């Protein structure tokens, strides 16, 4: 069994590679401080809660936005009805950014921290910006 050390080394490397995502997440999750998110939604009655509970929105908003886009563009289905009788336009600008009026200290701050860079605003207008681009 002269190959034993090699086999063990190979196994060790394999295990480390397999565990890499877990180790990486554990290390990076602790790195730095979590972003200081500012919830600055328009303080209008009925405009206080997120479309779905914030906890859920945190992990589901990407999928929800993609679903909304498909609904609008492919099915011309432009409205979302929640369980509490509220109706929202399925719109990135007119809904999400209308209520979350501070994209920079909310959306951007978390995305920067998480190292995601949504390309949506190549076309979609940020409300404070001048016209040009789609809603």
Q: Report the residue from 5, 116, 130, 131 that binds ligand HEC according to the rule CB under 6 A.
A: 116
Q: How far apart are CA 114 and CA 125, in angstroms?
A: 22
Q: Return the closest-CA partner of residue 135 out of 69, 80, 82, 91.
A: 91
Go through the chain and tell me how many residues it has.
135
Q: Of 14 and 77, which CB lies nearer to ligand HEC in the complex structure?
A: 77
Which residues contact residue 93 at a Cβ distance below 8 angstroms, ignoring those fewer than 6 apart? Answer: 124, 125, 126, 127, 135
135 with 91: CB under 8 angstroms?
yes
Per-residue binding letters, 49-88, with ligand HEC (x by CB under 6 A): xxx-xx--xx--xx-xx--xx--xx--------------x
CA angle centred on 11, ends 6 and 17, rounded to 5°:
125
Could you tell me how many residues of this chain bind ligand HEC (CB under 6 A)?
44
The residue nearest ligand HEC at its CB is: 54
Regarding 123 and contact with ligand HEC (CB under 6 A), the answer is: yes
Query: Which residues form the interface with ligand HEC (CB under 6 A)?
Result: 37, 39, 41, 47-51, 53-54, 57-58, 61-62, 64-65, 68-69, 72-73, 88, 90-96, 99-100, 106-107, 110-111, 114, 116, 118-120, 122-124, 134-135
């Amino acid at each position: 069994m002269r190959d034993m050390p090699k086999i063990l080394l190979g196994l060790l490397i394999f295990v480390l590679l397999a565990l890499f995502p877990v180790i990486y997440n554990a290390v990076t999750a602790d790195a730095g401080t979590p972003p200081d998110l500012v919830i600055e939604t328009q303080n209008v009655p009925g405009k206080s809660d997120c479309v779905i509970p914030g906890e859920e929105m945190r992990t589901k908003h990407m999928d929800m936005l993609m679903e909304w886009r498909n609904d609008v563009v492919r099915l011309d289905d432009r409205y979302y009805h929640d369980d509490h009788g509220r109706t929202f336009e399925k719109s990135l600008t007119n809904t999400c950014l209308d209520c979350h009026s501070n994209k920079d200290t909310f959306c951007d701050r978390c995305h920067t921290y998480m190292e995601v860079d949504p390309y949506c605003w190549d076309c979609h207008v940020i409300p404070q910006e001048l016209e040009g681009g789609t809603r």
